[in-house]
């Protein structure tokens, strides 16, 4: 009987590798607990109760802790979104449709939500739109209206 629980736990671990959500991992923990129970008793009822209780406890208490500590990078801005709030310098005139800016030593496609930022002007990254950084002129910088 314990072999059936071992197979169930291994299948759940394989499913976890595809989802990386820690749900199937918690269920696999219940499967391993039921496997250990099956070594000591032949009662299916006891094994299923152990599987259910351990799985629910893991899902309610262990999974939130694991997600918080193991996958903590997901709570921070990353990639291009980490540039929001950073300072940029306009390398070309930046309009609502196109432009180039340098942020942190890297050159990016950029555009504004309204107006135009002239070449050489300091700006602030206020967001991301597709492959473009959305810029806003820094305080005191001159912005010209689109015509």
CA angle 146, 102, 143 (to 5 degrees): 25
- What is the predicted pLDDT for the residue at 144? 57
Cβ neighbours, 10 Å, residue 92: 14
Q: What is the maximal distance between C-alpha atoms in the chain?
A: 82
In tens, the pLDDT along 43-90 reads: 999 999 999 999 999 999 998 988 887 755 544 555 777 788 889 999
Kindly tell me the burial class for residue 61, based on how many C-beta atoms sit within 10 Å of its own C-beta (0-12, 13-18, 19 or more): exposed
- What is the predicted pLDDT for the residue at 83? 82
Lowest average pLDDT, out of 6-10, 72-76, 140-144, goes to 72-76
In tens, the pLDDT along 80-133 reads: 777 888 899 999 999 999 999 999 888 999 999 888 999 998 999 998 888 889
Cβ pair 90, 121 in contact under 8 A: yes
**Distance separating alpha carbons of residues 128 and 31, to the nearest angstrom:** 44
Length of the chain: 147
- What is the predicted pLDDT for the residue at 104? 84
- What is the predicted pLDDT for the residue at 77? 57
Radius of gyration of the chain (CA): 27
């Amino acid at each position: 009987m314990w072999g059936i629980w071992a197979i169930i736990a291994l299948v759940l671990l394989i499913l976890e590798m595809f989802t990386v959500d820690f749900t199937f991992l918690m269920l696999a923990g219940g499967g391993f607990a039921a496997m250990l129970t099956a070594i000591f008793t032949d009662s299916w009822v006891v094994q299923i109760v152990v599987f259910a209780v351990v799985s629910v406890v893991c899902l309610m208490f262990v999974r939130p802790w694991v997600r918080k500590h193991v996958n903590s990078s997901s709570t921070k801005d990353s990639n291009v979104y980490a540039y929001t709030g950073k300072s940029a310098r306009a390398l070309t005139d930046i309009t609502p449709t196109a432009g180039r800016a340098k942020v942190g030593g890297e050159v990016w496609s950029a555009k504004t939500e309204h107006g135009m930022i002239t070449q050489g002007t300091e700006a602030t990254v206020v967001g991301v739109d597709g492959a473009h950084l959305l810029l806003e002129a820094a305080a005191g910088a001159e912005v010209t209206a689109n015509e």
